[in-house]
């Protein structure tokens, strides 16, 4: 038996998936969740073979939920209308069900999933999530089992850390498995600038630039932290600040 989880905030939307699942005897529904928080827990607990996932949900959306799961399951998205998402799906191998859908369309999606289960979801979703991030101006991270939403205005700076990045806020930092390039591309260019190979600065948090040794500069932030500025980006930073 294959394990299936349904994640959708509307009970009737879950019920239709449940109804259509009855036609597939080898698929067993093991959990239903009404938001992303429950979804993360359910996926980590059951390690399902297939997840039906809604996109627009309370607090964190479907993409953000996938971002904080370590081992991504196979996913069939169910959504009513989401321009970004639909564009991303159409160019990829992932299937999606546009609500409302029929039993036939549902069966087709299951067939497709049976044929090519192991799909690299992350690369396809990267772009979509990036656009979502631009819209929502927030970063979702997992922190000691809890899910935390950080508005990008609260981010002081982002620091490279092996395969991870450290997202520094006023009090502390959070780890996220992403690249510096990802954030350099996706964060709002009016507020964030990569000032060093290993640092992206929130320009609004800058209080002082001081010269530090010969030919090198250091940025001091509102919370007192100091981070280096590479020589090549010093000019760019000055231009943005209008110096």
- 26 CB-near residues (< 8 Å, 6+ apart): 1, 2
Q: State yes or no: residue 10 binds other proteins (CB under 8 A).
A: yes
Q: Which stretch binds other proteins (CB under 8 A): 30-38, 181-189, 208-216, 234-242?
A: 30-38
Q: Assess 35 for contact with other proteins (CB under 8 A).
A: yes
Nearest CA-CA partner of 60 in 89, 40, 31, 32: 40
Give the per-residue contact string, 150-189, with other proteins (x = CB under 8 A; - = no): -xx-------------------------------------
Does the protein bind other proteins through residue 19 (CB under 8 A)? yes
The minimum distance between CB 138 and other proteins, in angstroms, equals: 4
Q: Which stretch binds other proteins (CB under 8 A): 34-42, 158-166, 178-186, 233-241?
A: 34-42
Is the separation of the CB atoms in 160 and 198 below 8 Å? Answer: yes
- Give the Cα separation of 57 and 73 in Å (integer): 19
What span, in angstroms and rounded, lies between the C-alpha atoms of 80 and 206?
42
User: What x/- string results for residues 206 through 235 when contact with other proteins is judged by CB under 8 A?
Assistant: ------------------------------
For residue 152, the 8-state DSSP code is: G
Question: Of the ranges 74-82, 112-120, 164-172, 185-193, which one interacts with other proteins (CB under 8 A)?
Answer: 74-82
Q: Is 15 in the site for other proteins (CB under 8 A)?
A: yes
Residue 5 sits in the site that holds other proteins (CB under 8 A): no
**Token code pair at residue 90:** 């159409």
We find the least distance from the C-beta atom of residue 98 to other proteins, in angstroms, to be 7
Task: Kindly state whether residue 37 participates in binding other proteins, applying the rule CB under 8 A.
Answer: yes
Token readout for 20 is 């259509």
Does 204 interact with other proteins (rule: CB under 8 A)? no
Helix, strand, coil shares of the chain, percent, nearest 5, are 35, 30, 30
Q: Rule CB under 8 A: is residue 145 a binding residue for other proteins?
A: no
**Paired tokens of 236:** 């760019």
6, 7, 57, 129: which one binds other proteins (CB under 8 A): 57
What is the spatial order of strands in the sheet that 192-196 belongs to? Answer: 173-176, 164-168, 157-161, 199-202, 192-196
Please state, in angstroms and rounded to a whole number, the distance separating the CA atoms of residues 34 and 32: 7
| Residue 34 engages other proteins in binding (rule: CB under 8 A) | yes
Half-sphere exposure of 11 toward its Cβ, with a 13 Å CA cutoff?
0
Closest CA to 45 of 8, 92, 5: 5
Q: Does 80 bind other proteins (CB under 8 A)?
A: yes
Under rule CB under 8 A, residue 136 binds other proteins: yes
In this structure, the chain runs to a length of 243
Give the interface with other proteins as residue ranges (CB under 8 A): 9-13, 15-16, 19, 34-35, 37, 56-59, 80-82, 98-101, 136-138, 149, 151-152
């Amino acid at each position: 038996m294959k394990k299936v989880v349904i994640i959708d905030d509307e009970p009737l939307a879950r019920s239709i998936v449940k109804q259509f699942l009855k036609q597939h005897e080898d698929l067993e529904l093991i959990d239903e969740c009404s938001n992303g928080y429950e979804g993360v827990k359910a996926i980590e607990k059951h390690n399902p073979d297939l997840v039906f996932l809604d996109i627009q949900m309370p607090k964190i959306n479907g993409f953000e939920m996938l971002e904080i799961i370590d081992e991504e399951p196979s996913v069939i998205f169910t959504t009513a209308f989401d321009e970004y998402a639909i564009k991303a799906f159409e160019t990829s191998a992932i299937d999606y069900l546009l609500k409302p859908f029929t039993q036939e369309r549902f069966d087709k999606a299951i067939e497709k999933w049976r044929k090519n289960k192991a799909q690299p979801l992350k690369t396809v979703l990267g772009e979509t999530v990036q656009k979502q991030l631009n819209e929502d101006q927030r970063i979702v991270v997992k922190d000691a089992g809890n899910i935390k939403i950080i508005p990008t205005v609260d981010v002081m700076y982002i620091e490279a850390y092996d395969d991870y990045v450290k997202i520094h806020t006023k009090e502390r930092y959070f780890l996220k498995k992403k690249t510096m390039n990802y954030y350099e591309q996706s964060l709002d260019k009016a507020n964030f600038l990569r000032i060093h190979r290993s640092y992206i600065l929130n320009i609004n948090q800058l209080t002082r630039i001081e010269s530090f040794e010969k030919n090198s500069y250091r940025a001091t932030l509102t919370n007192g932290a100091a981070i280096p500025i590479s020589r090549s980006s010093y000019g760019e930073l000055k231009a943005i600040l209008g110096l």
